[in-house]
Chain A
Amino acid sequence: MRWAALAALLVLLALPAVLSSYALSVCILMLFYAYLGQAWNIVGGYAGQLSVGHAAFVGVGGYTAAMLSLQTGLTPWIGMLAGGALAALLGVVIGYLGFRFGLRGFYFVLLTVAFAEVCRIAASNIDAVGGAVGLYITFTGDPRQFQFRDARAYYYIALALMLLATGVAWAIERRRFGVYLAAIREDEGAAEALGVDTLRYKLLAMVVSSFLTGLGGTFYAFYLFSLQPNAVFGIPMSVEIVIRPIVGGSGTLLGPILGSFILTPLSEVSRIYFGQSGLYGAHLVAYGLLLIGVVLFLPEGASPHLARALGGRRGRA
């Protein structure tokens, strides 16, 4: 497994040298969504707190860094930390309200959706942050402003982000913290009875997850040079984040990455294919069908199957 991971990493590092610029942009999105999925996985997968409002954190992180850069000229390299911090703050608010008032399952999902939607409507109605049109960032190509002429820089940043989130998830998994989260996911009442401070650990998971997602928002803003309330805060964004870890296997280290490596190329290709024929929304239909299919036939996601397949091959060798 370790060798396989190392080999995969080397391939990822070498990949930009041989890719066309279009393939590169797909790969950047692939890594970026793997990153967001991994960040979601910490609270949604390991702790089992299904949040369908992670778009809120992307938006808050992106808007914060973009506003700081536009208004005060502060470099997004610092601004992204501010964005992450604000996203984490929002995460604490949502998490505290949700967990403290004991909202579980469906009610928690509703709460996260409602918060993301409130953010979306607020952002589209506040003129100071661009209103419904959103924010546009002028391209200067200045690395200090998180802008690069060479798309490969974005590739390596996305790769680094993904590795960062995976490292964090790995560290959590190996520590007591990860065991607590798994206990909360499997049986919250029992975990509490055994003396696990469930509120505290769920909140902590939420903070880590929303902070990382907020950092991702900055990347999104400065990679696409624009932020539109409907695109960053909308439900489709939350679905994009949630669906990858679930398809790949939520609560596993490889799940989000696997999910993104399967889904992102598919969704990009279908988006272009359907978009050319004027069939907007077709890829969301496909997502919906996929979600139904995974829930019915593959509830634990793809990654356990892959692990079994890999393990089987190794056993034979």
Chain B
Amino acid sequence: MAVGLTLIFGVMRVVNFAHGDMMVWGMYLAYLLSRRAGLDPYASFVVCAAALFVFGLGVQRGLVQRIVDAPHEMQILLMLGVALVLENTALLAFGPEPERVRSALSSATLWLGPLFVDVGRLVTFGVAVLLTLALSLFLFRTDLGRTIRAAADNTYGALVIGTDVRRVYAVAFGIGAACVGAAGALVSPILPFQPATGLSLSVTSFNIVIIGGMGSLLGAFIGGLLVSVAESLGAVFLAPSLKELVSFSLLILILLFRPAGLFGRRAA
């Protein structure tokens, strides 16, 4: 899921507070699809990604685009507003109880040599790796991908050489949202979720992205591994209710000492 955030942030320099809440919506979509249509989340993540892509495109076109030149504070407030709307409509629609999507795969287990592995987790991990690869291929090998990176690097320059920057922004935002949606659907069998999960997901993904370095895909991936290891260690050594404390403290430390991340260049 951090891949989604790096893409949005890297390209737009628009910070997305609504990230975790969009992911929660991805989870609820997967939940609805499995409940109503009997679709397994490992198949429906494509649908969720598509839905979130359209949503992201819409938010970008309708809202963010209007204030892209406004001060940074305005964009933060805007996304805070979107996050509030998303989280609480989820609360209205689905209620506060935690939900979990059932999948045939998540109950199956597998012996990998001496290791005992959940098939569900394995598939989630595999698809995440594939998505990251596909995304970097897209960004580095296709024309549209190159334009996105160009617009991120130097908006004015991209404009000068005739790029439709607005369209590029919209597509990038949509792709970012789609990644989040896919990620949401993929973890929905593993992670119980409720509307309030959005915030802690946002924090986790900020952690990941900031550690990995803004705008670097590889960084986001490695950051993801690091943060989840730190959080699970925290959960082992401390009370489970203190697990969140670890991620927030981590966030504070990262913000103070490594704002550009382990792999990112020093931010201006």
Listed in ascending order, the chain A residues whose CB lies under 8 Å from chain B are 48, 50, 52, 97, 101, 103-107, 109-111, 114-115, 117-118, 121-122, 124-125, 235, 239, 246, 279-282, 284-285, 287-292, 294-296, 299
Which of B70, B80, B248 is in CB contact (< 8 Å) with A114?
A: B248
CA distance A289 to B88 in the complex (A): 11
The residues of A that contact B141 with a CB separation of less than 8 Å are none
CB pair A281 B85 closer than 8 Å: no
Q: Which residue of B lies closest to A117 (CB)?
A: B248
Q: Which residue of A lies closest to B257 (CB)?
A: A101
CB pair A235 B259 closer than 8 Å: no
Stretch at the interface among B71-79, B103-111, B148-156, B185-193: B71-79
CA distance A109 to B79 in the complex (A): 12
The residues of B that contact A122 with a CB separation of less than 8 Å are 245
Closest chain-A Cβ to B30's Cβ sits at a distance in Å of 21
Pairs A–B under 8 Å by Cβ, sample size 6: A121-B241, A121-B245, A281-B195, A292-B82, A295-B81, A299-B74
Nearest 5 A/B pairs, CB to CB: A288-B84, A291-B81, A288-B85, A281-B91, A281-B88
Q: Which residue of B lies closest to A132 (CB)?
A: B241
CB pair A285 B88 closer than 8 Å: yes
Near A by CB (< 8 A), chain B positions 240-268 give 241-242, 244-245, 248-249, 251-252, 255-256, 259
CA distance A182 to B138 in the complex (A): 45
**Interface majority SS (helix, strand, loop, mixed), chain A:** helix
Closest chain-A Cβ to B147's Cβ sits at a distance in Å of 25
Q: Which residue of A lies closest to B252 (CB)?
A: A114
**Interface majority SS (helix, strand, loop, mixed), chain B:** helix
Near A by CB (< 8 A), chain B positions 79-113 give 80-89, 91-92, 96
Report, as a range, how many residues of chain B touch the other chain. 35 or more
CB pair A289 B81 closer than 8 Å: yes
The residues of A that contact B73 with a CB separation of less than 8 Å are 48, 50, 105
The residues of B that contact A125 with a CB separation of less than 8 Å are 239, 241-242, 245
Closest chain-B Cβ to A276's Cβ sits at a distance in Å of 14
Which of A104, A284, A291 is in CB contact (< 8 Å) with B88?
A: A284
Q: Which residue of A lies closest to B259 (CB)?
A: A107
CA distance A299 to B82 in the complex (A): 16
Closest chain-B Cβ to A66's Cβ sits at a distance in Å of 22
Q: Which residue of A lies closest to B93 (CB)?
A: A281
Q: Which residue of A lies closest to B199 (CB)?
A: A235
Q: Which residue of A lies closest to B80 (CB)?
A: A291
Task: Determine whether B128 belongs to the interface, using a CB cutoff of 8 Å to chain A.
Answer: no
CA distance A290 to B195 in the complex (A): 20
Given A118-B248, A118-B249, A289-B85, 16 more A-B residue pairs with CB atoms under 8 Å apart are A48-B73, A106-B15, A114-B203, A117-B203, A121-B242, A124-B241, A280-B91, A280-B92, A281-B195, A282-B92, A284-B84, A288-B88, A290-B81, A292-B78, A296-B66, A296-B67
Closest chain-B Cβ to A179's Cβ sits at a distance in Å of 20
CA distance A229 to B72 in the complex (A): 31
Which of A97, A104, A239 is in CB contact (< 8 Å) with B84?
A: A239
Closest chain-A Cβ to B48's Cβ sits at a distance in Å of 22
Q: Which residue of A lies closest to B206 (CB)?
A: A110
Known: A101-B256, A281-B92, A285-B84. A295 touches B242 (CB 8 A): no
- Proximity bits, B155-193, A CB within 8 Å = 1, else 0: 000000000000000000000000000000000000000
CB pair A103 B259 closer than 8 Å: yes
**Residue of A104, A117, A118, A282 ringed by the most chain B CB atoms within 10 A:** A117
CA distance A235 to B242 in the complex (A): 18
CB pair B206 A292 closer than 8 Å: no
The residues of B that contact A124 with a CB separation of less than 8 Å are 241
The residues of B that contact A299 with a CB separation of less than 8 Å are 67, 70, 74
CA distance A110 to B195 in the complex (A): 20
Task: Determine whether B63 belongs to the interface, using a CB cutoff of 8 Å to chain A.
Answer: yes
CB pair A52 B80 closer than 8 Å: yes
- Proximity bits, B214-255, A CB within 8 Å = 1, else 0: 000000000000000000000000010110110011011001
Q: Which residue of A lies closest to B249 (CB)?
A: A118
**Residue of A97, A111, A282, A295 ringed by the most chain B CB atoms within 10 A:** A295
CB pair A292 B81 closer than 8 Å: yes
CA distance A235 to B83 in the complex (A): 12
- Proximity bits, B40-81, A CB within 8 Å = 1, else 0: 000000000000000000000001001100101110111011
